[in-house]
A and B are shown apart, each in its own frame.
Chain A
Amino acid sequence: MSRHRVKAVAYDDDYDDDDDGYGSPDPEEQEFLEQCTADVLTQLRTGEPSVAATRAEVQEALWHYYNDVEKSVNYIRNKKVKELKKKESAPAPAAKAKGSAVPAFPIPPEPEPYQVPHFSAADFFRDTPWLNVPAHRKADILIEPLYPRLGLLGGNPESGGKVSKLAALAAARKKKEGDKASTATPAPALESEGSKPSLAEPKSASLSLRERLASNGKSPKPQGAQSPRPFGKSSRLGSHSPQKKPPPEPVKEAGSAEITPPRLELEDAVEPAKSQEKEEPAANIRASPSTFASTIVGNASRPKMTEPSPLYSNTLDLITIYGQDLTEPFDFTGPSPDDVVMNAQSSAKGFKSKQSTKAAGDKKNQSDLAGGMNNLSVAEKVNVKSKNLDVLSEYQKAKRKNAMNFAVIGHVDAGKSTLMGRLLADLKAVDQRTLDKYRREAEKIGKGSFALAWVLDQGSEERARGVTIDIATNKFETEKTVFTIVDSPGHRDFVPNMIAGASQADFAVLVIDSSTGNFESGLKGQTKEHALLVRSMGVQRIIVAVNKMDSMQWSKDRYEEIEQQVSSFLTTAGFQPKNIAFVPCSGISGDNITKRSESPNVSWYTGRTLVEELEATEPYSHALDKPLRMTIGDVFRGSVQNPLSISGRLDAGTLQMGDQILTMPSGETATIRSLEVDGEPNDWAVAGQNVVLNLANIDPIHLRSGDVICRASAPIPNITSFKAKVLAFEHLMPSMVDIHRGRLHVPGRISRLVSTLDQRSGAVIKKKPKIVAPGTVARIVVEMDHAVPLEAPTRIVLRAGGDTVAAGLLE
């Protein structure tokens, strides 16, 4: 057919041509073949050493070498010499195809030998000694092939000696292509027997590749020399060779007929021809034995075909023919699952293209596959290696400055945030540029006096309204101590937030607005509530900053009046007088905060400045050796590397990187990917430190602020009801309350008033009181709708209707 034709038409033509070719093969072709055969035979006879070969053999060889006379001669001679040496009977060239050359047949012959090792278990262990049964006995159990012979596909010679139409067609096409291509030797395609009556042994010439391949395994009747296919025998004999190495199995690749006869193994003994060498890599069709199999057989070599197995039938697994062998059983030739994992890990490259592993063999292929599977795994588990530190000893080794948290509390607009902004600014914890920026922006919206507060009030709503809404933390350092400011909101609506802040504090700074009227209203309002709250949450020391003294012209009388009133109140609230300190100051002007006021009006004050008072505070010890407890203050997205972070203060215990933690009440576990202490990365943290934990292996839905982090070994229980000893701030009766513990804020109800108690001795005064009056201590039972992580002894605060009604200790 001519190349100038359009493709579609060409196809039609092709078909016609081939159809013609089917009945009557090209006589030119025949002639050429004959000629070549004659040449080869002559050369064989005349060459050194002289060997005799049958026509069939020669033609076979010719066919494989594409009518290359020289190569065929070499090949046949080598073979014959070997056979002679071994005194073995009639070897014959077995089927051969060039490495990855175009397949000579359109059928996919390659799967067939491939499936052979998997035919059955018995087959696989055929040559294990106890299975070494004489052939004649094996023949008895020959099973009729279950599958069609697929003769049509392969041009089955057994079925009436006619090549199938399709096979012939393909052969003819092949030949024509060979003609077109200007190769010196046109490929003699397979000829049908019928068309070659002149051949001495027509059958052998027309043997399909498949047939020949099958013969090496099958041959239910081993007839030796008188076999019309002597090479079948030879291949079997060849495989006797004990020193034969298991070459890698060819990859099953459509289009690459990498089938080489097992006979090639003989080439170990004899110098192989160049062309043969080429074919070697794609040699063995059988799987190399696994360590397991070799152990059983007692020989490192693969199972050998000592006997023609009746199981080696010509039958083909349909699956192997029509598709990939999906049902392939695990063969032990591949790496073990452990190896697979190791390979996958070592070659973190992952999945290589299957195509690229052509001759690499099954082993690699399988490991790649498994590696691919490995990579495919959906849930990416983050493994963080724990350093297994002894955190306590690390902590003792680390010479850190004392770290302390203090809460800034007070009535709304007492100037808490501004005072702290001033403190940070004067201690250079905030740079001047930022301050100037805040000042400009604050003036733009007409709130110039709020500029300092903006250091802590970062929220847009807070700035717009000029009110602190949520707690803000910031840290600064003095020579001795690292302080963390917890700036609380003063507004009564945000007392829950203030409670969260105060629960993180070691001591408190109570800011009081000294200006006329504001002090008085504050004392009734959140000045009182906050002071009571911090006291009931365990804060011992309180520093009272009498703020806005500049607006009172630093009046000593005013200061003393405030001091007297506040100290009497604080004493009744339960603070010891030695733990109360007063500092007159001004947040807006900065007097008596970090530096003494230079104003002559303040000369009467000789006490310490606010910072000096802060530093005078004794450091507190924390329960380092108790089980881990940490209340989540915030759940947020830390950064791209840390998509899930939580912050809070460690209430008790220690933790380190890589630890498994449990969150309550959800009961989910998480891994600490990394952690930060006071904003700096560290490997461990201890109670009392403010930490940010970057978590992995948990869904953020399980984390809410107010949840508790603990360890699975010592979990905090989730409870729905508890008994508590509380100090009543308001009348208590069975009613709905909000329960606060740090960030934890849940609804609940007082279900029972158990008894009122004596404040000092704790003795029961009255059982089952109808109502508990303010200021008395009572034992109550509180129920909640949902289970909440709480355990004794925990300090809780009960609020109702926007007021704190009671605070106390869980029992």
Chain B
Amino acid sequence: MRLIKNKVELNGSGTVTLCPEEPEDMWHAYNLIRPGDLLRASAIRRVTTTQDTGSTTSARVHLTLEIRVKTLDFDPQSSQLHVGGQIINETPHTKIGQYHTLDLELNRNFTLEKEIGSDGEGVGWDSIAIQMLKDAVDEGGKRRAEAVAVVMQEGIAHICFIGQFQTIMKQKVEMSVPRKRQGGSDHDKGVTKFYQVTLDTLLRQMEFSTSAASLTSNEPVRPVLLTSPGFVAAGFQKHIQSVASTSTPALRRLLPNIVVVHSASGYLHSLAEVLQSPAVKTILADTKYARETKLMDDFLEQLRKETNKATYGPREVESAVDQGAVGRGGGVLIISNRLFRSQDVAERKRWVSLVDRVRDVEGGEVRVLSSDHESGRRLDGLGGVAALLTFPIIEDDVDSDDESQS
């Protein structure tokens, strides 16, 4: 995402003009834009006019509309963001207050304005929003780390794209592979067919050109991680090799980028294990998700070893922060960005103030995890927020908690 114009005031209100360049930028925009914000972008609207005679004509008009955001609809598969709301600027074709849904498009600027209301109407550009904006704009330009992972076991393969901030499950291949039987060769046949279907699907998803001419092109190929328990991934690699040497020579371009990694199962949640393996770390050095995964593993390890020096769950973490356990010297607040996406302003404020407090007052570390990554999903399982504590705290208010909830 390119930052075109930045007019954020000290008090937190102001406008920012951005230009999304990659599909993943839509995800950033999804996190930045919140209900209540003002969004200005170009739009195509069908305008119907009624003549005096009663006949109607409709035309598609290209407009620049400004809306007050009401709803956000993000499709991670195709990275499309639809923002719905009421029009607040007047144009020759629209009235104020009419509804419109803006479809943000790549390489088209949009302007986002966040206001500070008098009585907590809006929250403006708070610290989280500024942080997200920085992440989105990516000044360093070192965000090229992307990989394709095929998590498989016999009969099941998940093809997913690992980006900086998202892991998108692109397609699942599921086939019934006959088990080994006395004197039957169905199993080998079934496995070969499964490999071939998976390979075809993978190439289609990667948009990998298999024409002979592409052999000489030096378009970069993303690393492909093949992971499975047992020998399935290795068998798949062998299958790709044999296909490359026989029918599809263009696949030879892919071969050096294939890494086979062990995983515990063929389901997506074993991706965490994959991303921690040394082989993967060398390819995808210091990427955000690798760090996030490491963090989650550390947290769980802490929870196992010194149960009282780690906690999770909204109420528990807030109470720990109150006790000053998430401070200097090892206190880490881990929070999923799903919490900031909340429709409820008060809810968001609660988490933003918690983050600000830990960071600025307590002096602890704050890590915002992407809920669209494996680690973020693990965190969501724990309630979206967790903390590593500087000293053990005993939670004795569990019972009262339980009663109040039930």
Contacts and interface: CB of A to CB of B under 8 A. Distances in A.
Interface stretch (A138-146, A380-388, A542-550, A796-804): A796-804
Interface in B266-309: 267-270, 273, 300, 303-304, 307
B138 interface: no
Interface residues of B, number: 40
B402 A770 contact: no
Interface string B307-321: 100011000100000
Nearest to A472: B180
Contact of A767 (B265, B316, B398): B398
Interface stretch (A81-89, A456-464, A552-560): A456-464
B246 to A, nearest CB: 19
Interface string B165-197: 000000000001011111110111000000000
Given A458-B182, A459-B188, A747-B269, A494 B229 contact: yes
B229 A736 contact: no
Interface in B220-271: 229-231, 235, 262, 264-265, 267-270
Given A465-B231, A493-B229, A460 B188 contact: yes
A635 interface: yes
A470 B267 CA distance: 19
A469 interface: yes
A734 B229 CA distance: 23
Given A493-B230, A636-B184, A771 B303 contact: yes
Contacts of A278: none
Nearest to A637: B186
A734 B382 contact: yes
Contact of A703 (B176, B181, B183, B268): B176
Given A458-B181, A801-B270, A801-B273, A768 B300 contact: no
A704 interface: yes
Contacts of A465: 231
Given A469-B231, A636-B186, A801-B273, A770 B395 contact: yes
B28 interface: no
B378 interface: yes
B385 to A, nearest CB: 12
Nearest to B304: A731
Nearest to A800: B264
Contacts of B219: none
B52 interface: no
A458 B180 contact: yes
- Interface bracket on A: 35 or more
A635 B179 CA distance: 8
Contact of A634 (B178, B312, B382): B178
Interface in A623-639: 633-637
B381 interface: yes
B395 A771 contact: no
B401 interface: yes
A461 B265 CA distance: 19
Contacts of A460: 188
A290 interface: no
A770 B265 contact: no
Contact of B381 (A459, A471, A736, A747): A736
A241 interface: no
B264 A634 contact: no
A112 interface: no
Contact of B269 (A461, A493, A703, A736): A736
Contact of B300 (A491, A703, A733): A733
B399 interface: yes
A219 B243 CA distance: 84
A776 interface: no
Contacts of A771: 303-304, 307
Contact of A749 (B179, B231, B381): B381
Given A460-B188, A461-B231, A734 B269 contact: no
Interface in B1-40: none
Contacts of A494: 229-230
A459 B180 contact: yes
Contact of A735 (B188, B316, B378, B401): B378
A60 interface: no
Contact of A801 (B264, B304, B383): B264
Interface in B361-406: 377-378, 381-383, 395, 398-399, 401-402
Contacts of A637: 178, 186
A738 interface: yes
B176 A705 contact: yes
B142 to A, nearest CB: 30
Contacts of B311: 770
A515 interface: no
Interface in A756-776: 766-768, 770-771
Contacts of A636: 178-179, 181, 184, 186
Contact of B398 (A633, A736, A768): A768
A496 to B, nearest CB: 8
Interface string A381-409: 00000000000000000000000000000
Contacts of A474: 182
Contacts of B316: 770
A734 B377 CA distance: 11
Contacts of A458: 180-184
A178 interface: no
A294 interface: no
A692 to B, nearest CB: 10
B156 to A, nearest CB: 9
A738 B266 CA distance: 10
A733 B188 contact: no
A751 interface: yes
B244 to A, nearest CB: 21
B182 A802 contact: no
A496 B184 CA distance: 22
Contact of B230 (A469, A750, A767): A469
B381 A751 contact: yes
Interface in B191-229: 229
A749 B270 CA distance: 12
Given A472-B180, A635-B178, A731-B304, A767 B382 contact: no
B381 A734 contact: yes
A700 interface: yes
Interface string A429-458: 000000000000000000000000000001
Contacts of B273: 801-802
Interface string A724-752: 00000001011110100000010101110
Nearest to B268: A747
B315 to A, nearest CB: 11
A766 B270 CA distance: 30
Contacts of B399: 767
A805 to B, nearest CB: 11
Given A470-B180, A731-B303, A733-B300, A802 B398 contact: no
A669 B269 CA distance: 33
A431 to B, nearest CB: 14
B264 A747 contact: no
Nearest to A473: B182
B312 A770 contact: yes
A159 B56 CA distance: 62
B235 A461 contact: yes
Nearest to A459: B180
- Top 4 A-B pairs ranked by shortest CB distance? A802-B264, A736-B269, A493-B229, A747-B267
21 contacts: A458-B183, A459-B180, A459-B187, A460-B188, A461-B188, A462-B180, A469-B230, A470-B180, A493-B229, A493-B230, A494-B229, A635-B176, A636-B178, A700-B176, A734-B383, A735-B300, A735-B381, A768-B401, A770-B303, A770-B307, A771-B303
Interface of A: 458-462, 465, 469-472, 474, 491, 493-494, 496, 633-637, 700, 703-705, 731, 733-736, 738, 745, 747, 749-751, 766-768, 770-771, 799-803
Given A635-B176, A738-B264, A747-B268, 9 more contacts: A474-B182, A494-B229, A700-B176, A731-B303, A736-B381, A768-B398, A770-B311, A799-B265, A802-B229
